[in-house]
Amino acid sequence: MIDLSRRADEIAPGLLGAVIRRGPVAVRLTEVEAYLGADDPASHAYRGERGRAAVMFGAPGTIYVYVSYGIHRAGNIVCSPAGQASAVLMRAGELVAGADIARERRGLAPDRPDTLLAKGPGNLGRALGLDLLDNGQPLGGPGDLFELTEPGPGPGGILVGPRIGITRAVDAPLRFWLADEPTVSARRRGEPWRG
DNA sequence: CATAGGATTATCT
DNA sequence: GATAATCCTATGC
């Protein structure tokens, strides 16, 4: 099992290539972002252990689901020891199981490629079937709702750049993605500067 | 006053 | 045209 008791920025790159499974649908992560605690103004946990951010202060390996722009369900994997807050936002991935279910949930046209199924946090959330009721659920084993499996060797390198869609701490290099992966969401602001 | 949940507009493709 | 760690409002404490 992957050690999630360190801070999210140390763990996030290592989660690339790992497979997150929720029920019958599984996604191989190709793009993630790290959100820290008190030191990160862009993090929900910046203002302390209150509201929904309380989940981020829980045990490492907990799932944190929040509503983005009223329509998206974005999923995070809580990191750091209990009492400290940080999390890895799952931004994009490749369907490795249950692609047919994901396609139905997305309502994706038959002529559109599978690479679009989990591209972007909102789309990944829909593909996995994330629900607010999943908030606070733990990562478990094969018999549980959620499961996280070890990453396989990635042929391409890991790229790093600024996070997307935020208004504070916009320059922090906390977005990580795999090179040459068609499932990674659009670059948008900035370009990778380390790999 | 704090929290929970649904929604819009600016930015990027 | 599609997407997004923001923003606003309703409800409960």
Q: Which residues contact A128 (CB under 8 A, 6 or more apart)?
A: A20, A22, A25, A27, A75, A102, A118
Domains of chain A: 8-184 (3.10.300.10)
A162 touches strand C (CB under 7 A): no
Query: Which residues, other chains included, contact A39 with Cβ-Cβ below 8 Å and sequence gap of 6+?
Result: none
Task: Considering only residues 2-61 of chain A, list those whose CB is below 7 Å from strand B.
Answer: 50-52
Give the HSE-up count for residue A19: Cα atoms under 13 Å, Cβ half-sphere. Answer: 16
Which nucleotides of strand C are protein-proximal, with an atom < 7 A from a CB?
3-7
* pLDDT above 70 coverage of chain A, percent: 94
DSSP SS3 for A68: strand
Q: For the residues of A106-152, what is the DSSP string, one character each?
A: HT--TTS-GGGTTBSHHHHHHHHT--GGGTTPBPB-TTSSEEEEPPP
For the stretch A24-73, pLDDT in tens is 999 999 999 999 988 899 999 998 888 889 999 999 999 999 999 999 99
Residue A186 has pLDDT above 90, yes or no: no
Residue A35: CB less than 7 A from any atom in strand C: yes
C1'-nearest nucleotide to the CA of A175: C5
- H-helix segments, chain A: 8-15, 99-106, 121-128
